[in-house]
A = this chain, B = another copy of it.
Amino acid sequence: MVDALERLIALEDIRAVKARYFRCVDSQDWDGFAAQFAADAVFDISDDLPDTVVHGAANIADKARTSLIGCQSVHHGHCPEIELLSPTTARAIWAMEDMLRWADSSAPIRELHGYGHYHETYEKIAGRWVIKTLKLTRMRVDTVPR
């Protein structure tokens, strides 16, 4: 099992993974974004985009990249509930809010302002915590049409 100090270190390190996830997506640092996921990670945003479940870190970063072309995005995470399941596995729920704006006049919507939760699992691989699975659920999404 995990002793108290190991658990605290894991919680800090998992929070840092998600902090990099948010900074990388909003600065469109796609290599940095991909590095927060396990090679075989699963990214389920089917609550936003029907049937959209992406497999693999490289595909996940590519999906985020193409979804956010021409978009200034702001993603914020709040108040995680992180539970360590073993020395190398954990799960977490993060509250989230995103504010997306597309300047490009060919984009179908002008703005999206959403609220929801990430339901995630994490795995420690080669000494580094990464996101293994992510499912986004939504409480509310407001959009401004073009």
Contact = CB atoms under 8 A, between A and B. Distances in A.
Interface of A: 4-5, 8-9, 11-12, 15-16, 18-20, 22-23, 26-27, 72, 74, 76-82, 93, 95, 97, 99, 101, 115, 117, 139-140
Contacts of A5: 4-5, 8
27 contacts: A4-B5, A4-B9, A5-B8, A8-B12, A11-B12, A15-B79, A16-B82, A19-B79, A19-B81, A19-B93, A20-B81, A22-B78, A23-B93, A23-B117, A26-B95, A26-B139, A72-B140, A74-B97, A74-B115, A74-B139, A76-B78, A76-B95, A77-B78, A77-B79, A78-B78, A99-B115, A101-B140
B79 A18 contact: yes
A88 to B, nearest CB: 17
Contacts of A97: 74, 76
